[in-house]
Chain A
Amino acid sequence: MTLLQLFLSFVQIGLFSVGGGYAAIPLIRNQTVEVHHWLTAGQFMDLAAIAEMTPGPIAVNGATFVGLRIAGVPGAVIATFGCILPSLIIVSLLACVYRKYRELPMLQSVLASLRPAVVALIFAAGLNMLLQIAFGGQSRIAPDNAQWAGIALFAAAFAALRKWKTNPILTMLLCGAGGLALGLLGLF
């Protein structure tokens, strides 16, 4: 039963993540944290950090991580297969007709409208992560339960990315070092 649920969840993640890696993040979060409670919000953020640090598509990384936790090696294999199955079917169908496909106005128009929606979803996923950092996952958003060290670390990373376009992996490594340093000082 769990295997079937894992499979179906990751089929949805594979089917509805249009536009590459970051598009999968809100879907993975939705399925694993909100719908099935397989991961806590904190564990999901650890997963996002790990997936970003390691090679390979985020959806495949997520499928392996969640599948292993929920149902061991069969879980990892089933979840990964689930998330690539829609690609296998849809992409091989499209490959047969691809010369026609690019000029199809209907598909062009659908993709053009999907893009802004995906952007909004990614932004919301990032905002949820920020709230988790800033208020420790508590629903009460108020200055007195704000985690200032986390907010500062986020602000520094965000400023560096916007201003100097620092490498994302380097930025995350520096944040990890910053977290360790702040934690040892008892501030984080």
Chain B
Amino acid sequence: MEQSRGKRLLTLFFSMLAISAFTFGGGFVIVTFMKRKFVDELHWIDEQEMLDMTALAQSSPGAIAVNAAILVGWKAGGLAGMAVSVLGTIIPPMVILSVISVFYQLFAANRYVALVLKGMSCGVAAVILDISVSLGLKVVQARQGVHLAVMAAAFAATFFFGVNVVWIILCAAAVGAGMALLNRKEGGKA
């Protein structure tokens, strides 16, 4: 029993390590790989539960990959599973970024590397604006007045007035909480 539990934790750790090291492209991609491994291959988690975990990982604060690792680890091996799973997920990016940081110190002064990085930063700005425009259009299409106002106010607050991002998030959360309370009251009367 003890041994099989140890073996399970090892499998969990190395699965997470591999998924994290080779998955480019953000939280949703990594969740897909986790599903393939833990639902389709190892049968530790059923499909419905994995979908619930994905929704939970996505809507909780923090990185989606780390959140999903916490949930999958918890399910597969309790507290120890959670620790092992999170470690497996964060070790690859930490090692890779450490190596790159060393090279960054050495090469940031190099003219050619600086040119490539400068060119790439134009691409990053394009990727970020492309994604935010797509997301913004979805908000516009949903035609929820309050949400449009939140979006406009959040943009003005951060871009023109330099309000701390944390305050903006807290205010938006307060608006959502207020709307839920209003809806509840109206529901009560009806």
Q: Which residue numbers of A lie inside 8 Å of B, CB to CB?
A: 12, 14-22, 24-27, 30, 34-35, 45-46, 48-61, 64-65, 68-69, 73, 76, 80, 83-84, 86-88, 90-92, 94-95, 98-99, 101-102, 105-130, 132-133, 150, 153-154, 157-158, 161-162, 168-169, 171-180, 182-184, 188
Q: Which residue numbers of B lie inside 8 Å of A, CB to CB?
A: 20-28, 52-53, 55-67, 70-71, 74, 82, 86, 89-90, 92-94, 96-98, 100-101, 104, 108, 111-112, 115-133, 135-136, 139, 144, 146-148, 150-152, 154-155, 158-159, 162, 164-166, 168-173, 175-177, 179-181, 183-184
Please pick, from B120, B144, B147, B173, the residue contacting A110 in the complex, using a CB distance under 8 A. Answer: B173
Contact between B90 and A188, CB atoms less than 8 A apart: no
The docked-state distance in angstroms from the alpha carbon of A161 to that of B132 is 12
Across the interface, which residues of B come within 8 angstroms of A158, CB to CB?
A: 126, 129-130
Contact between A113 and B172, CB atoms less than 8 A apart: yes
The docked-state distance in angstroms from the alpha carbon of A50 to that of B96 is 10
User: Which of B126, B136, B177 gathers the greatest number of chain A CB atoms within 10 Å?
Assistant: B126
User: Which of B122, B124, B183 gathers the greatest number of chain A CB atoms within 10 Å?
Assistant: B122
Contact between B129 and A127, CB atoms less than 8 A apart: yes
Contact between B158 and A58, CB atoms less than 8 A apart: no
Across the interface, which residues of A come within 8 angstroms of B63, CB to CB?
A: 14, 17, 20-21, 24, 57-60, 83-84, 87
Please pick, from A51, A109, A127, A157, the residue contacting B122 in the complex, using a CB distance under 8 A. Answer: A157
Contact between A171 and B150, CB atoms less than 8 A apart: no
Please pick, from B64, B70, B119, B170, the residue contacting A182 in the complex, using a CB distance under 8 A. Answer: B119
A87-B66, A121-B165, A179-B117 known; 18 new pairs, CB 8 Å cut-off, are: A35-B164, A46-B104, A48-B121, A54-B93, A56-B90, A64-B94, A95-B56, A107-B59, A110-B177, A119-B151, A120-B151, A154-B122, A161-B127, A171-B123, A174-B123, A175-B123, A179-B118, A180-B112
Considering the complex, give the chain B residue whose CB is closest to the CB of A116. Answer: B151
Contact between A30 and B165, CB atoms less than 8 A apart: yes
Closest CB pairs A-B (n = 5): A179-B119, A56-B93, A113-B176, A57-B63, A175-B123
Across the interface, which residues of B come within 8 angstroms of A34, CB to CB?
A: 162
Contact between B70 and A150, CB atoms less than 8 A apart: no
Please pick, from A51, A99, A157, A183, the residue contacting B126 in the complex, using a CB distance under 8 A. Answer: A157
Shortest distance between the CB of A58 and any CB in chain B (Å)? 7
Contact between A121 and B56, CB atoms less than 8 A apart: no
Across the interface, which residues of B come within 8 angstroms of A59, CB to CB?
A: 62-63
Across the interface, which residues of B come within 8 angstroms of A95, CB to CB?
A: 56, 70-71, 74
Contact between B151 and A117, CB atoms less than 8 A apart: yes
Across the interface, which residues of B come within 8 angstroms of A111, CB to CB?
A: 59, 176
Sample (14) of A-B pairs whose CB atoms are under 8 Å apart: A16-B170, A17-B61, A20-B28, A27-B166, A55-B24, A61-B93, A76-B94, A80-B90, A118-B169, A119-B132, A162-B130, A173-B123, A177-B119, A179-B117
Considering the complex, give the chain A residue whose CB is closest to the CB of B68. Answer: A91
Across the interface, which residues of B come within 8 angstroms of A46, CB to CB?
A: 104, 108, 117, 121
Across the interface, which residues of B come within 8 angstroms of A60, CB to CB?
A: 63, 66, 90, 93-94, 97
Considering the complex, give the chain B residue whose CB is closest to the CB of A150. Answer: B122
Shortest distance between the CB of A174 and any CB in chain B (Å)? 7
Contact between A61 and B97, CB atoms less than 8 A apart: yes
Considering the complex, give the chain B residue whose CB is closest to the CB of A64. Answer: B97
Across the interface, which residues of B come within 8 angstroms of A123, CB to CB?
A: 129, 132-133, 136, 155
